[in-house]
Amino acid sequence: MQIDIPFIFMALIEIFKALPLTIIITLVPLIIGFLIGIGITIIRIRKVKGLYSLANFYVSFLRGTPALMHIMLIYLGFPLLIDKLAVTFRWTFQSTSIPILLFVLMALSLTAGAYMSEIIRAGILAVDQGQLEAAESIGMTNFQAMRRIVFPQAIAISLPNLCNIFIGFLHTSSIAFIVSQKELTGATNIVASNNLKFLEAYIAAALIYWGLTIISEKVTALLEKRVTVYNRGGVI
Amino acid sequence: MIQLRNIQKSFGNQPVLKGIDLTVKKGEVVSILGPSGSGKTTLLRCINFLERPTEGEVMIDDITVSSQKGSKKEILTLRKKTAMVFQQYNLFRHKTVIENVMEGLIVVQKNSKETARKLAMEVLEKVGLTEKANAYPVQLSGGQQQRVGIARALALNPEVILLDEPTSALDPELVGEVLEVIKRIAEEGITMIIVTHEVSFAKDVSDYIVFMDQGEIVEEGTPTVIFNNPKEERTKRFFKRINREAGILESNLSSVI
């Protein structure tokens, strides 16, 4: 068997068209997951009654199972739940009218939330308690102190880990192809089977993922320098 | 005026404060002295409810906050009348010197940015740090950081500034600059309660001295009375030990020289 090098370039261009969907499947879960992560972190740090063990269970289960399972569980389980509810409440609504992408985004958001909560929690705990006390001692509410003093530093501390998660989720987004999403990997599969050139197509896909990762790393490094500028006395 | 009534605090079963009564008049500088573990810092932290007392009440001007019933809102009002200087400075690390001072002025006192900047600059002038206004805390020496801590408290123009061992974390050669700043603002008539180990400084700057041991006030009075004529055995012993340590230090120094 010979490798068809020109085909790699053709595939590259074809697969690249699926980039927007990959970006959506990467970014949307990370943004929603970030908000979930903050919520979970607050519940766990404050030990909110009733929700505390639920939050612990959520983090433990979601981090303890592969993202692929989350997609499959939501994709298979959620429609069942919706249809059941529809029957009970006499809705005319049917689960088949929900786009599959929505299930993928839901599942990966939950996954991201679990990972993010651990990262944010570590960041918040790394900011020394004294600054929170100082903020409260001048009459700031706990919320103001968290938002203005603790949180910005916690995010700065967490940034390298958050960027790792971004890269991780960029790669994880590829499993959406299993529920027939036409993101980068899904597109690769189509290009490959239409032309019966599998290796070439996957080499092209790998190059695209690699390139995206390198760009992310560069952006991360810049961002990191910017948000931790206070540690170097204002020198970027 | 500040009044503490029957302040008690226990950590678990361990009583740390056993009913403290103290009155501080407006413009007075009160120093709290005593051996480590006597509850000085805890008492100070009970005044602004960073530590909620188990029993008793804190009165500042027209508001009274009681240990058990004190609501979040009351505590917030109390804290707006006080400010604190910490042993470890506790500056906001992600903010410049002037932003540290402006933070409370903007967020708590709702000043405009320009007003806050102007007020902050005036206070930085007082602590001699105008040229460091745009530096970050990591770029400052311990003494400078603590002076920013003092400026942050002073800027809010509080009824009382609580100083928790303001020089204990400093290198010996930096203690002087901080004490000098505290002395200067004491002379301006700002009410201060200082927990300190610097006995001679306390003698110099205070209108009133409180000596604590094992969670109780053992003796209190003007510096002249407390330092020259302590009545209680425990107070005498404490000063004797301090003097002896100072003496040893001095003889060590002279042998080095």
Distance CA A192, CA A205 (A): 10
- Residues of chain B contacting residue A232, judged by C-beta atoms under 8 Å apart: 138
With cut-offs at 50, 70 and 90, classify the pLDDT of residue B28: very high
A188-232 pLDDT, tens digit per residue, is: 999 999 999 999 999 999 999 999 999 999 999 999 888 888 888
Distance CA B4, CA A233 (A): 42
Q: Does residue A111 register a pLDDT over 80?
A: yes
Query: ipTM, 2 decimals?
Result: 0.90
The pLDDT assigned to B256 comes to 64
Pick from A179, B131, B55, B181: which is nearest to A189 by CA? A179
Q: Does residue B101 register a pLDDT over 90?
A: yes
Distance CA B148, CA B100 (A): 8
Which phi and psi (to 5°) does residue B31 adopt?
A: -105, 135
* Maximal C-alpha separation, chain A: 74
The pLDDT assigned to B77 comes to 94
Q: Do B95 and A233 touch (CB under 8 A)?
A: no
- Residues of chain B contacting residue A148, judged by C-beta atoms under 8 Å apart: 103, 107
Residues with Cβ within 8 Å of B137's Cβ and at least 6 positions away in sequence, in order, are: A230, B89, B91, B92, B93, B97, B100, B145, B148
Residues 106-165 of B with CB under 8 A from A: 107-108, 134-139, 149, 152-153, 156, 162
The pLDDT assigned to B141 comes to 94
Kindly state the tokens that stand for A51: 């929700």
With cut-offs at 50, 70 and 90, classify the pLDDT of residue A236: low
Task: Determine the residue of chain B that is closest to A149 in CA distance.
Answer: B92
Q: Do A141 and B76 touch (CB under 8 A)?
A: yes
The pLDDT assigned to A228 comes to 86
The answer to whether A8 and A90 are in contact (CB under 8 A) is: no
The pLDDT assigned to B257 comes to 58
Torsion of CA A84, A90, A96, A102, to 10 degrees: -80
- Residues of chain B contacting residue A150, judged by C-beta atoms under 8 Å apart: none
For B118, other C-beta atoms within 10 Å of its C-beta total 13
Torsion of CA A122, A128, A131, A137, to 10 degrees: 100
How far off is chain A from B49, nearest CA to CA, in Å? 9
DSSP state of A176: G
Q: Do B135 and A152 touch (CB under 8 A)?
A: no
First vs last Cα of chain B: how many Å apart?
49
| Lowest-confidence region among A56-60, A110-114, B92-96, B240-244 | B240-244
B10-20 pLDDT, tens digit per residue, is: 999 999 999 99
- Residues of chain B contacting residue A128, judged by C-beta atoms under 8 Å apart: 90
Q: Do A139 and B79 touch (CB under 8 A)?
A: yes
**Cα angle at B57 between B56 and B61, to 5 degrees?**
160
3-state secondary structure A150-170: HHHHHHHHHHHHHHHHHHHHH
DSSP string, B12-81: TTEEEEEEEEEEE-TT-EEEEE--TTSSHHHHHHHHTTSS--SEEEEEETTEEEETTT--HHHHHHHHHT
Mutation for testing the B interface, residue in A137, A224, A229 having most B CBs under 10 Å: A137
% of chain A residues with pLDDT over 70? 99
Q: Does residue A24 register a pLDDT over 70?
A: yes
Residue B2, H or E segment: strand B2-11
Mutation for testing the A interface, residue in B90, B96, B145 having most A CBs under 10 Å: B90
Cβ of residue A50 closer than 8 Å to a chain B Cβ: no
The mean predicted confidence, pLDDT, of chain A is: 93
